[in-house]
Amino acid sequence: MLCRFTKWPGSEHWRHDCVWLGTDEHGDWIGQRAGARSWRPGAAFDNPVPNVSLVPAGAPDWVGTLFPPGHPSGTAVYLDLMWDVAWSPDERGVLTGIDMDLDVVRTDARGTFLDDEDEFAEHSARWDYPEDVRAQVVARADALLVDVRIGTAPFDGATGAGWLERLRRLE
């Protein structure tokens, strides 16, 4: 399957080769095996370690990636604040969405923090994000920041570990 994300004005952003893992009370889970390809204009890499991503149930406004201990960058949680996240009605196995710049990140070195606030401010002005969209993205980022800090499921370690194990069994 494929994750195909854009930026607000519709410009191409990241694409990720993934595999379907399943659904639980948190939403739909997809995974990337070690070596799976991620690319965007001007950049590409093969993932150094496996990871799992959650597409939250309901009306998702973020997509979260959880990494196993030992990620080369020390990243454990990386949540992309998104807009219009949906499974494509026209293309089977394609997840689409608009990356809204803000990210909630947990790393070994820095703990949990909000990333790319400067990019969000710059793009909000350049591409004239509607005020209600800006407000919703910021409010959601603030709420997710708290959830990740206190380890609310699915950010508790155990939830992601279970899905990482399911991904490992597919290999």
Domain boundaries, the chain: 2-170
Distance in angstroms (rounded) separating the CA atoms of residues 169 and 7: 34
Instruction: Give percent of the chain above pLDDT 90.
Output: 91
On the question of pLDDT at 5 being above 90, the answer is yes
Separation between Cα atoms, residue 121 and residue 115, nearest integer Å: 12
Compute the distance between CA of residue 142 and CA of residue 150 in angstroms, rounded to an integer.
Answer: 13
Q: What is the mean pLDDT of residues 126-141?
A: 97
Distance of CA 165 to the CA centre of its chain: 19
pTM of the model: 0.94
- Burial, 40: exposed, middle or buried (Cβ in 10 Å; 0-12, 13-18, 19+)? middle
Distance CA 91, CA 44 (A): 23
Q: Encode pLDDT of 33-55 as tens digits.
A: 999 999 999 999 999 999 999 99
Q: Each residue of 52-89: pLDDT tens digit? A: 999 999 989 999 999 999 889 999 999 999 999 999 88
User: Mean of the pLDDT values across residues 131-160?
Assistant: 98
Phi, psi of 163, deg, nearest 5: -75, -35
Amino acid at 92: R
Q: What is the pLDDT of residue 69?
A: 93
C-beta neighbour count of 129 within 10 angstroms: 18
pLDDT of 171 above 80: no
d(C-alpha 26, C-alpha 31), whole Å: 15
Residue type, 151: G
- Give pLDDT tens digits for 147-156: 999 999 999 9
Nearest residue to 141 (alpha-carbon basis) of 95, 105, 98: 105
pLDDT at 159 over 80: yes
The Cα–Cα gap between 16 and 39 comes to: 7
Q: Which fold has domain 2-170?
A: FomD barrel-like fold (2.40.380)
Residue 89 is predicted with a pLDDT of 84
CA distances from 130 to 63, 123, 135, 140 (A): 21, 11, 9, 16
Q: What pLDDT was estimated at residue 124?
A: 95
